[in-house]
Amino acid sequence: MKRYTFLIVQIIGIIIFSSFKSDNPKSLKPVKVSPDQDNAGLVLPKGFGALIVAENLGKARHLTVTPKGDIYVKLSKALNEKTIYHLKDNNGDGKVDEQIGFGDYIGTGIFLKNNYLYASSDEEVFRYQLNHNYEVITPDKPEKLVTGLINKRQHNTKSIVLDNNNNIYVNIGSPSNSCQYQNRAKGSMGIPNCPTLDSAGGIWQFKADKLNQSYKEGVRYATGLRNVMGLDWNPENNTLFVMQHGRDNLSSIFPDLYDDKANAELPAECMFMIKKGDNAGWPYSYYDPIQKKKILAPEYGGDGKKEADPSFIDPVVAFPAHLAPNALLFYTGNQFPERYKNGAFVAFHGSWNRAPLKQEGFFVAFVPFKNGKPSGEWEIFANNFAGTENITSTSQAKYRPCGLAQGPDGSLYISEDKKGTIFRIVYDGK
Amino acid sequence: MMVNKLIASLLLVLVMSISAFAQSKSKAPVKKAVSKAAPVAAGMQNSINNGKVVYTQYCAVCHQADGLGVPGLNPPLSKTVYVLGDQTRLINIVLKGLSEGVEIDGETYSNVMPAMAFLTDQQVADVLTYVRNSFQNKASAITAAQVKAVRANSKK
């Protein structure tokens, strides 16, 4: 009996002590964040290190990091019935030690600007007011900014970003591959004046502080974009940039014009600089990275060589086909070396449509920028998310990069949705 | 003399069975499970081999070489109720396509499967026989006659 009493006293003591600890997180001395052994399996340029900050979140899509260093991550599959997680690192060792779930709608988009957290379902956009610690004040009562966006399963995710004028940009992906009469069917031609473009296949602009907007209140800011997952506002030239997921299935729809190798190499995954009113050409055109030309889509009479309407905008960067760019981030931090400043990071989810050829692109790329224009070739920044070089089937990949965010200290955060891992990339200059 | 003859014929039998074994091994490189289980009828093995060619050309792009699909986009073909269940439904998936939003082990898939009625009855039979005997599946063959009947029925 005596022994038990002692034990109980001890347990109570531990409880009191640990609650005291979490009540005063700031009084703890911050431990220096150090990379995991072997950089968590990632391959990085010299001087960079990686650590896993959170794991097992499931379908972790986009994420954002607050000025205090907390993470908000959007899930496209509920985890313990919640679809947004607020992740905290109370002891400052770089690893998340507290997870607070809220939200009951699955989705992809999440973005933080000024005193609001913005998040999207596959049909709607919400915002949450934040307190001075960047914590959501009423997690169960978001304000609905945008509603009624089309969701026909395919390309239904709504990525979001804000400019500096209180506008929010929302990607509305096309519910088809190439606007055929029969989606992805062999030989089926494209519907003239693709009707999809009225309500999808572009970027829509809404007010970031007006409730219950839909198509009527929004502006079709840019069209001819098949599906954009990664988008960001370039702080240098104050312009929207997007990464398009290019069309699939050239060889299975038009086997007489394209073989499997051509399908694996066409078309480029394009980065576009977007000005209001731009048309990027989908479904009538695709960008061929080998001929370096906009080519008329076979669904609209193309033969792999005929050029498309020249009024469609050109890409600013052409990446290899089918790599699936899921996030774009302009880096404004001071932690990384000077050449990374204002450059673009792009998270690639990795391909599936290259089959039967080997799958590629389970990496984060970097493009140096100057004054809002690429100033050099793109390069692989963080590699080996797949865990092996030889991926013949997509599900063999260990991790699939999906979201990007910058921390207050200039660290780069990468989410992945195969297992739900969040990586943090740091630079120690050695 | 008698003994010699006996030894000779025993040897012959041994050589024959070894070469037969080697042949059957080289003929069935597709799946370990297949060669381990009861011998597959030659006709079925033929159909599996031809079906693999059809699969690589028309299905692998979405369902992938390993039949495990692409998370969130294209479903796996390993031990699903669609692959192993009702054969008419399975044949119709290839002939008419599918875009209803299947749920397999709690996962949904956002892509669509196009109709592939341009495949011949034999090609549909072969590819489904291949699928039903690959990716950890083990099920009976689908015949061209079955495909023909389903196709005729759905035209009515």
Residue A200, φ and ψ in degrees, nearest 5: -160, -175
The SS3 call for residue A295 is strand
Query: How is chain B split into domains, by residue range?
Result: 1-39, 40-155
What are A235's two structure tokens?
């702080």
Residue B9's pLDDT band, with cuts at 50, 70 and 90, is low
pLDDT in tens, chain A (430 residues): 444 544 444 444 444 444 444 434 443 334 478 999 999 999 999 999 999 999 999 999 999 999 999 999 999 999 999 999 999 999 999 999 999 999 999 999 999 999 999 999 999 999 999 999 999 999 999 999 999 999 999 999 999 999 999 999 999 999 999 999 999 999 999 999 999 999 999 999 999 999 999 999 999 999 999 999 999 999 999 999 999 999 999 999 999 999 999 999 999 999 999 999 999 999 999 999 999 999 999 999 999 999 999 999 999 999 999 999 999 999 999 999 999 999 999 999 999 999 889 999 999 999 999 999 999 999 999 999 999 989 999 999 999 999 999 999 999 999 999 999 999 999 987 6
Instruction: Give the nearest partner residue to B70 out of A185, A252, A352, using CB atoms.
Output: A352
Q: What is the DSSP letter of A191?
A: P
- Full DSSP string of B127-145: HHHHHHTSTT-------HH
- DSSP, collapsed to helix, strand or coil, labels residue A415 as strand
Q: Does domain A2-21+28-109+223-427 have CATH number 3.90.1570?
A: no
| ipTM score for this prediction | 0.84
Whether A390 contacts chain B with CB within 8 A: no
Q: Which is it for the CA torsion A186, A188, A193, A197, positive or negative?
A: negative
B66:A183 CB<8 A: no
For CA atoms A350, A353, A359, A360, give the dihedral sign.
negative
Residue B41 in this model has a pLDDT that exceeds 80: no
Residues of chain A with C-beta less than 8 angstroms from the C-beta of B111: 154, 184
Of A108, A52, A41, the C-alpha closest to A398 is: A41
Query: Which CA distances in Å does A41 have to A122, A170, A366, A382, A386?
Result: 33, 34, 19, 10, 10
- Contact across the interface for B110 and A155, Cβ inside 8 Å: yes
Contacts of B156 (CB under 8 A, 6+ apart): none
Question: Going by C-beta distance under 8 Å and a sequence separation of 6 or more, which residues neighbour residue B57?
Answer: none
> Residue B60: which of A156, A356, A400 has the nearest Cβ?
A356
Per-residue pLDDT band at B15 (split at 50, 70, 90): very low
Question: Chain A closest CA to B44's CA: distance in Å?
Answer: 24
Q: What is the CATH number of domain B40-155?
A: 1.10.760.10
